[in-house]
Chains A and B, each alone.
Chain A
Amino acid sequence: MLTIGRDIIDAIVAHARRDHPDEACGIVAGPIGSDNPVRHVPMDNAERSATFYRFDSMEQLRVWREMDDRDEEPVVVYHSHTATEAYPSRTDTSLAGEPKAHYLLVSTRDPSTEEIRSFRIVDGTVTEEPVQIVDASVDPTAVTTYMFGQSPAAVDYECSTGH
């Protein structure tokens, strides 16, 4: 299960919409071993492509060093698919190099639907996991319009496999 703040999800989706139709990419860093993604770092897609992404190598070095200095790791690695579903392609699977990360995919194919899914990708095996979006600041009495909302302060996106 990926548990992540509503503000961070909003920022990731906004980044993906902004870069559409190119794929957007980035990370969310968190303290090592915490499994808690807290610091959103949007990255440049060096490929500037609608079908491929790659972190700029110099930006990646800078960001990875910064995480080292702060005792952080990339808890979430995200990118968008702009015309297809939010599911890892064979390319995504074969190139996944962070076995401890949650691979978050956002699809921007529909401008009015927020489509986000999370996966573990280890040794070429993809395992989908539920995403729990939490928002501590939300008014618990507020009306929510989330399709799969279980409570006003936590939204679970269910998936078909694994937990």
Chain B
Amino acid sequence: MAIEVRIPTILRQYTGGAKVVEGTGDTIADLLTNLDASHSGLRARLITDEGALHRFVNVYINDEDVRFLGALDAKLNDGDTVTILPAVAGGALAFAAVEALADNLR
């Protein structure tokens, strides 16, 4: 099944500059594994060492945030569009505290 994947500027170094690529997979996890075969390094930017979706990356299936659909287990259907956006986040809070927060929420 063909899934259209929209790639943000910051990750286009892995897609040869392409804004949209195609992949296949029954779930987001499958899709990212499939994409990594042709766009090496992309998956590592989206998934943590522990195997979870990175907290500061937003992944959407059509109009839904995959966090509300089962995250990496979210199901894909032929013709779906997946959009990847870097979360826009930051603030004055100390970095160590943010990391601890991110760990707690993972």
Chain A residues packing against B (C-beta within 8 Å): 23, 25, 27, 43, 47, 49-55, 57-58, 60-61, 64, 73, 77, 79, 81-84, 88-92, 94-100
Task: List B contacts of A98 (CB < 8 A).
Answer: 9-10, 86, 88
Pick the most buried of A23, A57, A83, A89: most chain B CB atoms within 10 A of its CB.
A57
> Which B residue sits closest to A81, measured CB to CB?
B92
27 interchain pairs, CB-CB under 8 A = A27-B88, A49-B91, A51-B91, A55-B87, A57-B65, A57-B87, A58-B65, A61-B60, A61-B83, A64-B83, A64-B85, A73-B9, A79-B90, A81-B92, A82-B92, A83-B92, A84-B92, A89-B92, A91-B92, A91-B94, A92-B90, A95-B56, A95-B87, A97-B8, A97-B56, A98-B10, A100-B9
How many residues of B sit at the interface, in one of the four size bands?
Answer: 20 to 34
Pick the most buried of B58, B67, B85, B89: most chain A CB atoms within 10 A of its CB.
B89
CA distance A91 to B85 in the complex (A): 18
Given contacts A89-B93, A91-B98, A98-B9, A55 and B88 within 8 Å (CB-CB): yes
- Besides A55-B89, A57-B85, A82-B92, 5 more A-B contacts (Cβ < 8 Å) are A27-B88, A57-B60, A64-B83, A91-B91, A92-B91
